Structure 1
Amino acid sequence: MTAPARPRKLAKVPFAELAGGRLQGVVSSGSDIGRVYVSSVAAGTYAFACSTNNNRPCGGARGAFCNHIRALINEAVLQYGADRVARYLKVETAEGAPSAPAIEDGMSGTRPSPADTKDAAPVFSRFLRHLAYLELAPSAAPLPEMHWFPPTRTVA
């Protein structure tokens, strides 16, 4: 696991991941505290999707990135670093170090198209699973479902 590039505030984008050939995550609604959006951008094609957790389409994602996708890109840059996000999404940026606006500009120049929202459910499910770990009492005991993590060594 790589340490975050910079600390993030989790209120707006509580979950962001580079997985399945996409930047994907959960973004809080700006207008309704009980609503979240599952947003994604595909690597290479930049096909994007944004829908609520009830699979209703986002009203702002019509032919261009909505504010949820922009927030997801910004938070991914904070979590993973701009270089890693640009490399994963296969974005050609202008000279110099990439940034969230440069990554977005690199993708918008190719006329990204809306994608199917069928992959929203697994992303939201993983987010809910991550939330379940927050409810566990602190313990040094192993969790069976986390057995695939490499064991840590204590250096004396």
Structure 2
Amino acid sequence: MSDWERSSTARVTAPARPRKLAKVPFVELADGRLQGVVSSGSDIGRVYVSSVAVGTYAFACSTNNNRPCGGARGSFCKHIQALIGEAVLQYGAERVARYLKVDIAEGASSAPVITAQMTGTRPPQGDTAAAAPVFSRFLRHLAYLELAPTAAPLPEMQWFPPTRAVV
């Protein structure tokens, strides 16, 4: 059994390309959305929770205390554009486009191409109800980063069923 199988931490898939976490510290493809947390460009103490829905490209962007983003009125704001760019770095352009159901030409996949295809459809304003769970998961991830690596079990993870080694 390898070290990571005996560890209380999960193995993480390496990003498609290295990315800087200062601007977009959290990005995920989950719950039918590309969603994440984006730092404010003007206030170091403010973050935005941004999302784009699969297929419809409905978007939402608000601060961590549910104030709407001033730039997300009728089109993608800079936070959503940054989120898409970081998702492409994290997961690769093909995976992001496939997840969001964006039709792009093969070999022409990049964050600006994906964004242009989505904004060409005039996406509707989305629901900001997803902001709270996304921000909560982000805070949970931050808490795990503060833990020292250990092979000892984490009490809050004890509800996972035990796994057997596959031979």
TM-score with structure 2 setting the length: 0.85
* 1:83/1:97 contact within 8 Å kept: no
* 1:94/1:102 contact within 8 Å kept: no
Equivalent residue, structure 2, for 1:98: 109
1:152/1:105 CA distance change after superposition, 3 Å: farther
* 2:40 aligned to which of 26, 29, 35: 29
* 1:114 aligned to which of 125, 129, 134: 125
Shift of 1:15: 0.2
Q: Segments of 4+ in structure 1 off by > 6 A? A: 149-153
Shift of 1:152: 10
CA deviation vs aligned residue, 1:80-126 (integer Å, no higher than 9, x gap): 00000000000011342411011001101111011110110000000
TM-score with structure 1 setting the length: 0.91
The structure with the larger Rg is: 2
Which shows bigger deviation, 2-11 or 51-60? 2-11
* 1:89 aligned to which of 92, 96, 100: 100
**How many corresponding residue pairs?**
153
Q: Structure 2 regions of 5+ residues with no counterpart?
A: 1-11
Q: Structure 1 regions of 5+ residues with no counterpart?
A: none
CA deviation vs aligned residue, 1:59-83 (integer Å, no higher than 9, x gap): 0000000000000000000000000
- Name the SS of the counterpart of 2:22 in structure 1: coil
- Name the SS of the counterpart of 2:128 in structure 1: coil
